[in-house]
Amino acid sequence: MNSLKIAVLVGAAFALGACTNAGRFDNDGGFGADGAGAGFDVGSAQDPNSPAYFNQTIGDRVLFLVDQSSLTPQAQTVLAGQAAWLANNPEFTAVIEGHADEQGTREYNLALGARRANAVKEYLVTQGVAATRLQTLTFGKERPLEICSDESCYAKNRRAVTVIAAGGGTS
């Protein structure tokens, strides 16, 4: 396996890690080297330019209705916040991951996840984020967040997550 491939795998592993809860609330270090500190710890969730602020305060994910990829009003609010943060932090890029619940066939869910990710991307673009900073990715039903087989879990799994990264992102 060549070094490029290893680098790519590491990047992928990072992206995967970032979509779990544990990974998400811990990633205060690696990113925000130049967060503008004023009255709070640089890089913390109180720092409006920190990834933690993006993930926790703004919200890194939006949810979808069953078999839908259109954005709810709440989702649009979250995405407006994401767009503003990205405008203030131009050194970041994002990979938008689309997911589906388990109630669907594998291939269809991949396509549905791609639609959801793209819906988020297009909204961010309309809010002024350069399309070149955004990539989309679908996991279909391969990476559920919640594992029960009820609507309570399904609702959280039908999501698109904006995973930010400093610099080039994963590719």
Partner 1 sequence: MRAILIFLAMVFSLAIGSVALAQDGPLRLRITDGVIEPMPFAIPAFQAESAAAGQLASDISRVVAADLTGTGLFREISPDAFISTVSNFASPVQYADWKAINAQALITGAVNADGQGNINVKFRVYDVFSGAELGTGLQFAGTADGWRRMAHKVADEVYSRITGEGKYFDSRVVFVSETGPKNDRRKRLAIMDYDGANVQYLTDSSAIVLAPRFSPDGNRVLYTSYETGFPRIYVLDVNNVGRRAIDLPDGTMSFAPRFAPDGQSAVFSLTTGGNTDLYTVNLGSGDLTRLTSAPSIETAPSFSPDGSRIVFESDRSGNQQLYVMPASGGEATRISFGAGRYGTPVWSPRGDLVAFTKQNRGRFHIGVMRLDGSEERLLTASFLDEGPTWSPNGRVIMFTRETQGAQGAPSLYSVDISGRNLKPIRTEGGASDPSWSPLQR
> In angstroms, what is the minimal distance from the CB of 68 to partner 1?
12
Residue identified by tokens 């400093």 is: 166
The reply on whether position 144 binds partner 1 by CB under 8 A is yes
**Alpha-carbon dihedral of residues 109, 115, 117, 118, nearest 10 degrees?**
160
Residue nearer to partner 1 on the CB measure, 35 or 159: 159
Sequence-distant contacts of 43-52: CB under 8 A, at least 24 apart: 48/85, 48/88, 49/85, 49/88, 49/89, 51/27, 51/92, 51/164, 52/25, 52/27, 52/28
The reply on whether position 65 binds partner 1 by CB under 8 A is no
The reply on whether position 12 binds partner 1 by CB under 8 A is yes
> In angstroms, what is the minimal distance from the CB of 121 to partner 1?
7
Residue 94 in contact with residue 164, Cβ under 8 Å?
yes
The reply on whether position 103 binds partner 1 by CB under 8 A is yes
The reply on whether position 68 binds partner 1 by CB under 8 A is no
What is the Cα–Cα distance from 167 to 99, expressed in whole angstroms?
24
User: Beta strands 92-99 and 159-166: pairing type?
Assistant: antiparallel
Residue nearer to partner 1 on the CB measure, 88 or 149: 149
The reply on whether position 57 binds partner 1 by CB under 8 A is no
Per-residue CA distances from 36 to 32, 101, 119 (Å): 9, 39, 31
The reply on whether position 110 binds partner 1 by CB under 8 A is yes
Altogether, the residues listed in the chain come to a count of: 171
> In angstroms, what is the minimal distance from the CB of 73 to partner 1?
21
The reply on whether position 107 binds partner 1 by CB under 8 A is yes
Query: In the complex, which residues of this chain contact partner 1 (CB under 8 A)?
Result: 5, 8-9, 11-12, 15, 20, 67, 69, 102-108, 110-112, 114-115, 117-119, 121-122, 135-139, 142-149, 170-171
